[in-house]
Structures are given as C-alpha cells and as structure tokens.
Amino acid sequence: MRTPVAALLLALLAVPASAEPLPTRVVSIGGAITEVLYALGEDKRIAAVDTTSVYPPAALSEKPNVGYMRGLSAEGVLSLSPDLILMEDGAGPKEAVALIDAAGVPVRHVPSGYSVPDLLQKMRLVAAAVGRDEEGEALAQRMAGELEALRGDLAEIKSKRRVLFLLSVADGRANAAGHGTGADAVIRLAGAENVFGDMEGYKMLSPESAAALKPDVILMLDRAGPGGGDPLAIPALAATPAGQAGAVIRMDAAYLLGFGPRTPAALRDLAVRLYPDAGLGASLVR
C-alpha cells in the first residue's frame, strides 16, 4: 500500500472539525464538483480531477488528471490512494464505476440535475463531503438569493426571446439542443424560450426546420475549433430573425453549462445579453 509522504503530512496538519477525520485525498470527477471545492478553498484536499474540471484553470494545470469523466479507468482512479471519490452522475463507463464502488473507498455520487433545487443540493452535498456543511449552506443560500432576484427582474419582461442553442456548427450542419439538456435549462432560467424544446437531447438540425423555428437569437459556446463555425454561414440560419439581426451570443462552455457556483452569474449574464434594454445590470462578460 502506497502512503505518500505528502498525504501523511497533510493528514497530520489537517485539523479535524468533526469526530471522524476529513478526507485529505479527494478525487473530484466533474467540473462543478471541482469548482465547489476550489470556491470553498478546499482545493488542497483534491488528489486528482477529470478533464471536465476546466475552472479554475489551476485545477487542470496543478492536479493529476484521471481523464474524461465518461471514460474512467477504475485502476487509475484507485491508484491515487483516494480517501474520498466525488463523482457527478453521468460518470462512466458503468463497469469502471461499479469497480470503483466495490473497492471500499468512500464514493459519493453527486446528482447532476438541471433544476435550481438540484443545483443547490449539489453545493450542499460537495461541501458536506469535506466537512464544510455551514459554508455549503451559505453558498446555496447566496445562490438561491441571486437566482430569485434574477427571476424577479425577468418577471417584468413581456415577450420572451426565442433562442436556438447550437452545440456545434460543422460543415454546414448544426447540432441543436432540445429539452432535457443543460442548454435548454439555462435558456429557460434566463427567461427565454428554447425554439428546439420539442425535441429531446442534442439532435442534428435540418436547415429547413431551422428556418421554420424562427429564432430571435442563436446561442453558442465560445471556443475555437471546427465545431465553433459561423452559424450565419448557413443560409437557412442567416434567413432567420436571428440571422437578419446578427444576434449570435457566445459564452464559455464551463461557465454557461457547468451548473456550479458560477451559474447564477452566468444566467444573469445571459439574461443581460438577451434583454439588453430591460435594465438587468451590466454583463460581466468581457
């Protein structure tokens, strides 16, 4: 059994806040979990993260990486001698997760729903797992307050903007978000309507139906690469109200769809950009 000296020292330095010792080697699988741990200042407990943990940038550069959360290696995760594994729902493959569960290391599966109660519960769960129940509750309360304030501000708005979220635009084909996706949830929480909401999951959009959907705004992720092409280069999209007005909003993927501590801010940013004349405050996006 490998007991790294660093972990030993940490264990000696860690002042237990409760009767049972707190975990000192946490494997954090899921970007939101990593964000909460960093937000609480508990990043020193993190033994490793996964590739979806892109914020804060330090997480990717400082910590060992167990790979993509849906392509985990059971032995890889267990080899880090973790004393706690936090795993967002959706981690896989199933066999690897089953083996990790069977290895006698405490594993907490964190639900990853797209509703406000799910989001707040995630904050509380992760904080409690590292013995910071009070701070987790405070974080959840603060986020709930911000979301409530946004809802109040949005209640003034009479006509909802019609939004089409495109995950990728590659060689003239767009992959759009239907209901049951994170993108659908942020569109609704930012007081708009998802024009592709009748479909389920992410689906390729045919150009004709894109024209028929008549979006006012096209929402996309802000990243380089072939998937980040110009949606208005597709004639059918250029002909929509969004295309006519040149209304394309791009936002950072982890910020917009991470469902972590920054989500209330991301939702307000999105709302400000959807309704610039509604006096919702200034966008934080640079």
Partner 1 sequence: MRRLGARRGAPREASEPSAAPALAGDRSAKARLATLLLALLLAATLIVALGTGPALLSPRAVAAILLAGPKGEVASLADTVIVWQIRLPRVLLGALVGASLGLVGAMMQGLFRNPLADPGLIGVSSGAAFAAVATIVLSGSVLAPFAAALGLYALPVSAFGGGLAATLLIYRVGTRAGQSSVALILLAGIALGAFAAAGTGFLVYLSNDNQLRDLTFWSLGGLGGATWAKLWAGLPMMGAALLAAPFLARGLNGIVLGEAEAYHLGIRVQRLKRLTIVIVALATGAAVAVSGTIGFVGIVVPHLLRLWFGPDHRHLLPNAALGGAVLLLVADMAARTLVAPAELPIGILTAALGAPVFLWILLRRRGLAGL
What residues line the site for partner 1 (CB under 8 A)? 1-2, 48, 51, 64-68, 70-81, 90, 92-96, 98-99, 102-105, 181, 200-202, 204
138 vs 199, beta carbon nearer partner 1: 199
68 vs 141, beta carbon nearer partner 1: 68
Query: Minimum distance between the CB of residue 202 and partner 1, rounded to whole angstroms?
Result: 6
Query: Minimum distance between the CB of residue 265 and partner 1, rounded to whole angstroms?
Result: 26
Buried b (16+ CB within 10 A) or exposed e, 217-230: bbbbbeeeeeebbe
Query: Minimum distance between the CB of residue 93 and partner 1, rounded to whole angstroms?
Result: 6
Query: Minimum distance between the CB of residue 145 and partner 1, rounded to whole angstroms?
Result: 32
103 vs 238, beta carbon nearer partner 1: 103
148 vs 200, beta carbon nearer partner 1: 200
Query: Minimum distance between the CB of residue 196 and partner 1, rounded to whole angstroms?
Result: 15
68 vs 283, beta carbon nearer partner 1: 68
